[in-house]
Amino acid sequence: MTVLAACVTTERFERMMGGYLGVPISELQQHFGYNYIERQLAEGNRAYTWVWKEKGVFPGHETPTTIQTYSSDKGQHVIVIPGTYFPPSVYHTSCEFSFIADKSGKTVSWRAHGNGCAYYSGPGRILAPAGRP
């Protein structure tokens, strides 16, 4: 089930990004924010790169202790199954995505990488500037 969910979110992300092709880069700047890295490419093209990062902690939890009782010809019996503790776990996800714009400023392609791209749902979360190459 998890694999299927990952495929669905990856497809959704790819559809979202593909929907920006042909759009003026100025609209993407307004949409994703002005905290991007801009690079000059060959043939007058330019790359615009944004980075989305998220980190947090999944809370720990404990399963309850279970007490079972039963009777037999030897009397009453009690079985205690202790609960299990699952500690909190820290997570870090990120997605670095770039749009390539041609000389006229229209987006012609995109690329993305990171462990969080499939879960990136678009602007609305904090976008951190990408690191310098």
Each residue's pLDDT tens digit, 15-69: 999 999 999 999 999 888 888 999 999 999 999 999 989 899 999 999 999 999 9
Query: Residue 113 carries which DSSP code?
Result: E
pLDDT digits (tens, 9 = 90+) for 2-19: 444 455 588 888 999 999
For the record, the structure tokens of 86 come out as 């699952």
Q: Which residues pair with 15 in a beta bridge?
A: none
Contact by Cβ (8 Å): 94, 116: yes
Buried b vs exposed e over 101-132: b needs ≥16 C-beta within 10 Å? beeeeebeebebebebbbbbeeeeeebeebee
Distances 14 to 75, 117, 121, 130 between C-alpha atoms, Å: 64, 9, 11, 21
The whole-number average pLDDT for the span 73-97 is: 92
